[in-house]
Each structure stands twice: as structure tokens, then as C-alpha cells.
Amino acid sequence: MKKIKFAIICAFIAFIAVSCIEPVTKPTFFNSALLIGKWRQPSALCQDGSQGYLYYRFDTGGSGATWDTADDVSETEAQSFTWTLSGATLKVVYQGEMGQLIPKSYTLKTLNSTTLSYTDNYGTRYTYMKYTGN
């Protein structure tokens, strides 16, 4: 009888120990080739009342640019940046107006042929649509 109680107690302890272990999840990997191109999301209205857009252009080789037409900034006047994608982590290093480097890190949520979505370190979600126009 003591052996049965001991076996039941051992089985119970083993069950509790195993149930407390968090499952191992595989990291999410995104295809960086899908990132290449122009992405945009609506921003504020332009001075003429038209819809402004915030653009990101990711180029092959890890460079890119961003601009906002609501601020009357065109692609030729864009702020440059470099980028790397590792797993679900998108690191972007912006080039400031005074030459300073401004690193940012984002967690990708969606990356496919039409949608780019990520969160920043504060949990704010940003969603962009692929833009194929000029």
C-alpha cells in the first residue's frame, strides 16, 4: 500500500513539474525579399486638402528612405536609413539631419506581398500597404 501511495505522489509531482514548463515555440522568420519595395500608410492631410501618405522604401542591400507627403516632403528629399531583418526583428537605423544615427527596433507581425505590419518597443502597431505606383 505504501508503494502505491508513493507512486501516486511521484506521478502527481511529475505531472505538476511538467505542466509548469512553458512550451517551446519556434521563432517566426520573415522573408526579407518581401520587404523590398515601397510601402505607405495614410497620414495627415496635405495643405491643399488631399490625403498625405507616409512612405517607406526598402531597397536591396539594406538601405532605404522614408518621407511624408503631408509634410510636403518628396521621395527625392527623403530621410535615408539602413535596415536589417533577423527572424521577426526589423532594425532600422535612421540618418538624422545633423548626421546622427537613430536606431529603432520593431517586431514584425505581418509581412506578405501586400501588407507590412509591425510593433515598436511601446506596443504601438503600424500597418503599411505595398505601393506599386511612382
Q: Is residue 68 part of a domain?
A: yes
- Residue 118 CA neighbour count, 13 Å, CB half: 21
Over the stretch 58-115, which tens digit does the pLDDT of each residue have? 999 999 999 999 999 999 999 999 999 999 999 999 988 888 999 999 999 999 999 9
Range of the domain at 92: 32-131
The cell for 85 is: 531583418
Q: Is residue 9 part of a domain?
A: no
**CATH code where residue 83 lies:** 2.40.128.280
Total number of domains constituting the chain: 1
Over the stretch 20-55, which tens digit does the pLDDT of each residue have? 665 655 567 899 999 999 999 999 898 898 999 999
Q: Is residue 7 part of a domain?
A: no
Q: Is the confidence at residue 3, as pLDDT, over 90?
A: no
Q: Is residue 21 part of a domain?
A: no
Q: Is residue 114 part of a domain?
A: yes
Phi-psi region of 49 (alpha: psi -120 to 50; beta: other; left: phi over 0): left
pTM: 0.77
